[in-house]
A and B are shown apart, each in its own frame.
Chain A
Amino acid sequence: MKPAPFEYCRPSTVDEALEALGSSESSRVLAGGQSLIPAMNFRLTDVSLLVDINRVEGLDAVTCDSGGVTVGAAATQTRVLEDDGAASVVPGLRAALRHVGHLQIRDRGTVCGSLAHADPAAELPAVAVATGAAIDVTGPAGERRIDAADFFHGPFWTALEDGDLITEVRFPAPPPRSVTIVDEICRRAGDFAVAGLVAVIEVDAGAVRSARLVGFGLGGVPTRLQAAEAAIGGWAADHPVVTLTEAVMADTTDAFDDIHAPNWYRGEAVAALTVRAALRALATEEEV
């Protein structure tokens, strides 16, 4: 399990990185390497040139203001996880990162790398969609900003074109008085989810006012649960659970089938997670 031969470079500016990326057919950005290097060790990925962005100046910043959190392409998951400011402005980040791999993975893996990699069972892409994140990309076609909702095209497939580099991602703060919950079913600690849910829920007077519900591990991309979002408005703890579960089941009829779970299970699991999230959000309001 050793990678096939490739060339390597380590630019120090974004321009140098872009130039290098453009110089070869199958060039790849190397960020944390926690997804790319395993794939290369298995010889599953053809790479002629690795462009290591870890020492590009200015890419490792994590900045917070009241409106959101901006994470640079070289900022590791651990840095974001440990950033108290980021956690208070966009609670979904810390909540999600706790489920991402293990300490040793997060010490190198990057937030932007996870978005670029677009594993359908990954947590961070779902957080990006749930919070309405904006992804800044620069490449042969110049700079552009892509909404998370438009970024994910399929499993391991995004709006990125050859030679593109994500420079940073901006996660906007969720509505005030909302509760963000990241919950998942996974087989072992640190595993990718069999199915999971990112929920940003606004609660008012003992009932759910509205919610953004994004499932992951369900299909090729993070999945907005639209029927469930419609059904959850006004839901309270003493309301029947089936209103929520049936809506989620309707949202997830074409979930994946693989060795980890059949599609019906994924639907049921996310339905259960949705109920759990709603109850937790309502309980949180009581505490406050």
Chain B
Amino acid sequence: MSLDIDSHIRHSSRYVGRSVPRREDRGPLTGRGRYVADIKLPGMLEVVFARSTEAHARITGIDTSEAEALEGVVAVFCAADLSDVNTFPDYIPYIGAVRQRPLAEDRVRYVGAPYAAVVAVDRYIAEDGASLVAAGTTYEPLPTVADLDQALASGAPKLYDHWESNCSFDVAPHKPEVDRAFEEADHVFTETYVSQRQTGLPMETRGVVADMVDGTLTVWSSTQSPHMVRTTVALMLGMPEPQVRVIHPAIGGGFGTKTHIYPEDVVVPWIARRLATPARWIEDRMENLVASVHAREQRHDVEVAYDADGTIRGVRCASMLDMGSGEIFMPGTAPVFVTNACITGGYDFPNMEARTIGAVTNKTPAGAYRGFGIPEGAFVMERIIDRVARLTGTDRADLRRRMLLRPGQTPYVMHGGGRLDSGSHTESFERALEMSAPRLEQVRKRHAGDPDVRVGVGYANYVEPTSPSYHLTTGHWGGGDAATVRVDPDGSVRVAAGLSAFGQGAETTAAQLAADALGVSPQDVTVVLGDTERTPYGLGSWGSRGAMMLTGSVLLASERLLDKARAIAAHMLEAAEADVVLEDGAFHVAGSSRPSVSWAEVGTAAWVRVVDLPDGMEAGLETSGFYHPENLQHQLDDTGKINAAASWSNGTHIGIVSVRISTGEVTIEDYIVVHDCGTVINPALVEGQVHGGVAQGIAGAMYEHFQYDPDTAYPRFASFMDYLVPTCAEVPHMEVDHFESPAPEQPLGVKGCGEGGTVGPPAVVAGAVSDALSEWGVDLTECPVTPVAVRAALRAAEANRGGGSGAPP
């Protein structure tokens, strides 16, 4: 984007680039943050959902009479009551249509599927009612499908009678050059890599409050995308969009889980409309673990062609996504495409043939989780490199060096069309190696005397697509956001943006941008987000898009506003527009000693003293901009390729671990991150994103795992006792450094940094532990790396050597 403001801020920013303290902090620090569960309206009723206790079954009867008879229960609604609600749209043509109804009708496909809503005067009684509904529900169990193998087996029980099989999509490009690589290479190995089921797990669960007054339905939702909720709720309830207002109050985290639009987002507003009473539903943690999307469960069957000197000639990878039941809007299918698109990371590696498959199973629907497929791909690529290094006796770091994109090699088009516009791929890796070398020495020394401990190091180099297209994910939306900027008569600035936020500090960022654009201080800027009635359309907060979308839309609107303001000021100064400059928050005639005109004077002229406006000028001082990144593609080109991201951040993670052989316990001793997200608007916020992302990555690398019973598809988890969110004691200290390679085509060169942190840890931990255990030939192919997994790997290694079951002591 070429804006005057862009170069102006690049040269003389006062706030962009600084750790301006957050304006979002005060509420939560003092107990006055307002989250959905804090909203209480007069006469508000509480909703609790009855959820399937079967993984796959026909519902043969729901007896609601006992619940309805309970004192305090107002109503019980089942699918039949919602006949005036539309079906969730199936927008993506190439995946199986699930025709999802807001409440399950006669068939349930996972434990946790909502099939009835109990409305009562308080939550306790609503839960009593839901228990009675559950007791009154009868099922006819159907055979279950608990994993990809079961789903894709011939003759497998089908989840959808109108499908041919459980396969939702299978996209298989063929690349002759990869065939050639396999013919020519010295060696080939095959392997299967697995990434386990996890979830974003925000500390605040989901929640919806709805109220219909004077024909307008107001919905407070803990969502990452209020405008998309509005569009969808209006569609589902058959209402004009202007009569639906969606507000997200403070949000206690989202991490992708709250990008989806869930049945509850539609049913609770429907109840409020139907009963003409405010209604509220707050997800509890037991529901959250089965009723909010899961993610990351993928399997990768790879074939790798390599030469004796370690050169990797070609890779074929079949990436398979376990979609759960698939009953979620937007569908959770996109991450596996992102996995394949990003799998080669920052490596110069075009000879990749990646097939993408998705299948449904009787588990919680899969969806978005911060990282959105990138960690799964990075895991596969880094494990492949380590394997080839080991097989060929090549140094692991050297092999990566040989493969990484070098300075000057960007823009670089990846195997699937992703266009790495810029980056510091080699530089980040070298810097991280430098940082890790002395630490590795220290850790080795520290454990030198302990025969039970081994030390290892693991690497990950990755790319992070930022501000991606939402078309591939939704089949409907695109990839831009709008903002409005207004200067009021007193000279204060108001920015309203379609972006939303759940802790990233978007309000602070928007204020920094507007302050620099308009030459004011951030204190003079009021920021409005997360209310469809007060903000222009935007897609919300996901895909590491916040920083770029805010920058693009706020600067675009600001530049337009500035043009008009300058014209007004020039008129008041009786000068030519071209001679008027904005300095120190006021307009002057360049090089003249005439008094300046302040923003308040310009604002007053625009709105109040319109007599001061130039002849014929329209009054008012409010402008909008819709920012859509220029090179962002939404559809595949003729060759089946696409650059579905506006820019690409990159990074390197290096981790040093110690492993206790006798127990399999793994300790991350040091964790190093060097990342590059282009121009940084607020360093403290970026660092915070890195820390939080890495912690979630470590959660996936070592702790969190949704396990299901293979015979019944029944969840083997119910609480935080079995879904292991890491505490302060499990997350290591992180050393963070960064490069800044500005995005050449984006405003201020901003890229985005929301997700990169999550990408490295699985590859790093598995690589480091395999390195530590290399004397036994251990080479891990899946996460989480638990003490049990480590001991199992050691036992298997020992058994392979014919050493019996007795693993090393």
Contacts and interface: CB of A to CB of B under 8 A. Distances in A.
Direct touch of chains A and B (CB < 8 A): yes
A273 B787 CA distance: 14
A185 B286 CA distance: 26
B338 to A, nearest CB: 29
A42 B788 CA distance: 29
Given A188-B729, A189-B727, A1 B663 contact: no
Contacts of A185: 663, 665, 787
B722 A194 contact: no
Contacts of B665: 185
Contacts of A191: 721, 724
Contacts of A2: 123-124, 127
Contacts of A3: 124
Contact of A242 (B718, B729, B809): B809
Contacts of A192: 721
Given A1-B284, A1-B286, A272-B662, A261 B788 contact: yes
Interface in A256-278: 259-262, 264-265, 268-269, 271-273, 275-276
Interface string A2-36: 11110000000000000000000000000000000
B776 interface: no
B703 A188 contact: yes
Contact of B730 (A189, A273, A275, A276): A189
Nearest to A272: B662
A191 B717 CA distance: 15
A50 to B, nearest CB: 15
B807 A268 contact: yes
A273 B662 CA distance: 9
A55 interface: no
Contacts of A272: 660, 662-663
A43 interface: yes
Contacts of A43: 127, 131
Contact of B809 (A4, A5, A241, A264): A241
B128 interface: yes
A260 B789 CA distance: 11
A142 B284 CA distance: 43
B285 interface: yes
B55 to A, nearest CB: 17
B19 interface: no
B707 A259 contact: yes
Interface in B114-135: 123-124, 127-128, 131
A187 interface: yes
Contacts of A260: 722, 788
B131 A262 contact: no
A72 to B, nearest CB: 28
A102 to B, nearest CB: 9
Nearest to B707: A259
A261 to B, nearest CB: 5
B136 to A, nearest CB: 16
B712 to A, nearest CB: 14
B791 A189 contact: no
Identify which of B703, B788, B795 gathers the most chain A CB atoms within 10 Å of its CB. Answer: B788
B719 interface: yes
- Per DSSP, chain B at the interface is loop
Interface in B713-770: 716-719, 721-722, 724, 726-730
B216 interface: no
B87 interface: no
A190 B727 contact: yes
Nearest to B126: A2
A76 interface: no
B312 to A, nearest CB: 35
A54 interface: no
B127 to A, nearest CB: 5
B724 A187 contact: yes
Interface in A183-199: 185, 187-192, 194
A268 B727 contact: no
A110 interface: no
A4 B124 CA distance: 7
A194 B787 contact: yes
A4 B132 CA distance: 11
Given A4-B128, A187-B786, A190-B727, A42 B809 contact: no
A275 B809 CA distance: 10
A224 B716 CA distance: 30
A283 B788 CA distance: 29
Contacts of B788: 260-262, 265
A157 B332 CA distance: 44
A147 to B, nearest CB: 30
A245 interface: yes
Contact of A275 (B124, B662, B717, B792): B662
Contacts of A241: 809
A265 B665 CA distance: 12
Given A185-B787, A187-B724, A245-B809, A259 B717 contact: yes
A188 B807 contact: no
A127 to B, nearest CB: 21
Contacts of B795: 264
Interface string A235-262: 0000001100100000000000001111
Contact of A1 (B128, B285, B726): B285
A282 to B, nearest CB: 16
Contacts of B730: 188-189
Contacts of B660: 272
B551 to A, nearest CB: 39
A60 to B, nearest CB: 28
A269 B131 contact: no
A190 to B, nearest CB: 7
A272 B808 CA distance: 11
A268 B808 CA distance: 11
Contacts of A5: 124, 128
Contacts of B791: 265, 268
Nearest to A241: B809
Nearest to B705: A259
Contact of A269 (B124, B285, B722, B787): B787
Contacts of A259: 707, 716-717, 722
A132 B455 CA distance: 41
A1 B283 CA distance: 9
A265 B791 CA distance: 7
B123 A269 contact: no
A189 B729 contact: yes
A12 B724 CA distance: 40
Nearest to A3: B124
Nearest to A102: B727
B718 A42 contact: yes
Nearest to A189: B729
Nearest to B726: A188
B131 A4 contact: yes
Contacts of B728: 189
A262 B792 CA distance: 10
Nearest to A42: B286
Nearest to B718: A42
A258 to B, nearest CB: 9
B479 to A, nearest CB: 39
Contacts of A262: 788
Contacts of B787: 185, 187, 194, 261, 265, 269
Contacts of A261: 787-788
Identify which of B123, B662, B728 gathers the most chain A CB atoms within 10 Å of its CB. Answer: B662
A3 B128 CA distance: 9
A23 B49 CA distance: 35
Interface in A37-94: 38, 42-43
19 contacts: A1-B284, A2-B124, A42-B718, A43-B127, A185-B663, A185-B787, A187-B786, A188-B724, A188-B729, A189-B730, A190-B729, A191-B721, A241-B809, A259-B707, A259-B716, A260-B722, A262-B788, A265-B787, A265-B792
Given A43-B131, A265-B791, 11 more contacts: A4-B128, A4-B131, A42-B286, A188-B724, A188-B726, A188-B729, A241-B809, A261-B788, A268-B662, A272-B660, A272-B663
Closest CB pairs A-B (n = 4): A189-B729, A272-B662, A1-B284, A2-B124
